[in-house]
Structure 1
Amino acid sequence: MHLIKLNAIDSTNSYLRKLSSDAELVDYTVVSAKYQTNGRGQMGTVWNSESSKNLTVSVFKDVSKLYLEHPFYISMATSLALIKTLQSFSIPKLSIKWPNDILSEDKKICGILIENVIKQNRLRASIIGVGLNVNQTDFEGLPKAASLKLLLGNTFNVEEVLYTLIKYLKYYFMFLRKEEYYLIKREYESFLFRKNKPSTFKDIEGVSFSGIIKNVSSSGSLQVLIEDDIIKDFDFKELTLLY
């Protein structure tokens, strides 16, 4: 692992993406920042984080030699690496809120933003951005946010959390290298938040409806059992889980 430490940056993902376009990077090159002025989440959301209290990193992962069925397996492997990391620090009742928010009970503690690098119509690399709430305790206006410190009462070593995460990223990407996709998918689905429980959703037009999360497809669609025993696939832009 090659680690680049920054005090402040607009976005570690943007920084690492530019770095990868300017030079050949070592696999698992990591950019870590004490503070991000413009941290980004899924679908253009903003990730707010207090300086020096959380893990805000981006990881360069060379995927040019992986024969991926679908890019979503990168997201599944990353989500599982975070679950395993958090389990090693005794964080309780972990789940994955589709597609890749990490929850403890129903509190969000981590978000993931994956940006793929495509050259000559081939997937070459992934920039894996992780925002993990570690020692921050004030989340004004965010009632569903939590941190490791809020959950357990301890102050954590952020760098130790980072090194543990890299260890488990390598572990789960080993399964992708072996093309053991079913193992990744099966374990990912076992952690799906509200799987097999009646839930309320909102569609892209703002209409609420009831359904039961069953699984995900290999391409990353959420498979929801709706009325008349129909299982419908939803893209992550088409559906919001209300909880």
Structure 2
Amino acid sequence: MKLIKLDAIDSTNDFLKALSSQDEQENFTVVTAENQTKGKGQMGERWSSEAGKNLIMSVLVKDFLFDNEKVFDLSIVVSLSVIEVLKSLNIPNICVKWPNDIMSYNKKLGGILIENTIKSDGRIMSVVGIGLNVNQTNYTDLPNASSLAVISGETFNKNELAVLIVEKIKEKIDLWQTSVQSFWTDYFDSLFKKGVPMPFRNLNNENFMGIIQGVSPIGKLQILLEDDSVAEFDIKEVKMLY
């Protein structure tokens, strides 16, 4: 595993994408940073982090995705990898808030942002950004956030955590073809608030009640509505109010 450690960078995802476009990087090349000035979340939202306290990393994944309709497969692999590593560290009640926020109880521990590029030969190159709250303890301005340190009362080695996550991603990718259905089942079982009546808000700023049923093959959230129909929502088309 090639590891590039940076002190500060605007975005590890942008750095790794630029590096990969200029030179053929080996699969699972990892970039970490102590501080990220322009961290990105889903749909261009900012991801902020206290310098030196948290895991900020991007991983290059090649030769896994070959179909643009199946890009959510990688979200499943990465989400389950992070969940399994955190469970192995005895972090309690870990789940994934669709599509890929990592939660403990009702608190957000981190998020995953996957950016895919289709190469001229048709290959899909993915840069997997992972932001994980590790040793930061002050969340005065972020009441819905927490960290491994706050929840467990322990401090963690960020570099060791990065290695564990990448090794787990590699392991799951190797198993994917023979375990697709079990991975999807594990992802469904790990969904935050699945099967629980919850309030949501749609793009028209209208609130409604619904029950999460699962996720479609292309990654849309499936919600059972009050009229007993099931609607599918893409990222940013719906917000859970919790």
TM-score, normalised relative to structure 1: 0.96
How far apart are residue 182 of structure 1 and its match?
Answer: 1.4
Q: Within 5 A, what are the aligned runs for 1:147-226? A: 147-176=147-176, 178=177, 180-226=179-225
One-letter code of the match for 1:152? S
Counterpart AA for 1:230:
S
The answer to whether the Cα contact below 8 Å between 1:63 and 1:123 also exists between their aligned partners in 2 is yes
Unaligned runs of 5+ in 1: none
Contact kept, 8 Å, 1:64 with 1:123, in 2: the verdict is no
1:13-59: per-residue Cα shift (whole Å, max 9, x none)? 00000001000010100000010011111111111111111100000
1:143 equivalent to 2:148? Answer no
1:123 Cα deviation after fit: 4.2
What is the one-letter code of the residue matched to 1:151?
I
TM superposition shift of 1:122: 2.8
Partner of 2:21: 21
**Does 2:145 align with 1:125?**
no
**Residue pair 2:224, 2:230 contacting (<8 A) in 1 also:** yes
Q: Which moved more, 1:97-106 or 1:63-72?
A: 63-72
SS at match of 1:43: helix
- The one-character-per-residue Cα deviations of 1:40-97 (angstroms, maximum 9, x if unpaired) are 1111111111111110000001135756861001111100000011011100001110
Whole-Å separation in 1 of the counterparts to 2:159 and 2:30:
12
Deviation at 1:121, TM superposition (A): 7.3
| Aligned counterparts of 2:198 and 2:65: Cα–Cα separation in 1 | 39
Structure 2 residues without counterparts, runs of 5 or longer: none
Equivalent pair of 1:112/1:128 in contact (CA under 8 Å): yes
Deviations 1:102-157 (A, max 9, x none): 00001000111100011237342110000000000012311010000000111111
1:179 and 1:221 map into 2 onto residues whose CA distance is: 23
* Aligned 8 A contact 1:58 1:129 in 2: yes
Secondary structure of residue in 2 paired with 1:144 = coil
Deviations 1:135-192 (A, max 9, x none): 000123110100000001111111111111011111221233x253212211100000
Q: Is the 8 A contact 2:65 2:71 kept in 1?
A: no
CA distance in 1, matches of 2:162, 2:197: 36
Percent identity among equivalent residues? 44
Check conservation: 2:64, 2:173, Cα contact below 8 A.
no
The amino acid across from 1:158 in the alignment is K
Partners in 2 of 1:72 and 1:151 — Cα distance? 29
Contact 2:222 2:232 in 1 (8 A): yes
The corresponding residue for 1:59 is 59
For 1:164, what is the secondary structure of its paired residue? helix
Aligned length: 242
Q: Is residue 6 from structure 1 mapped to residue 26 from structure 2 by the alignment?
A: no
User: How far does residue 227 in structure 1 lie from its aligned partner after superposition?
Assistant: 1.9
**Range with greater deviation from structure 2 (122-131 or 76-85):** 122-131
Code of the residue aligned with 2:63 in structure 1: it is V
Stretches (4+) displaced over 6 A:
none
Cα distance in 1 for residues equivalent to 2:113 and 2:69: 20
Where does 1:88-127 land on structure 2 (aligned, <5 Å)? 88-120=88-120, 122-127=122-127
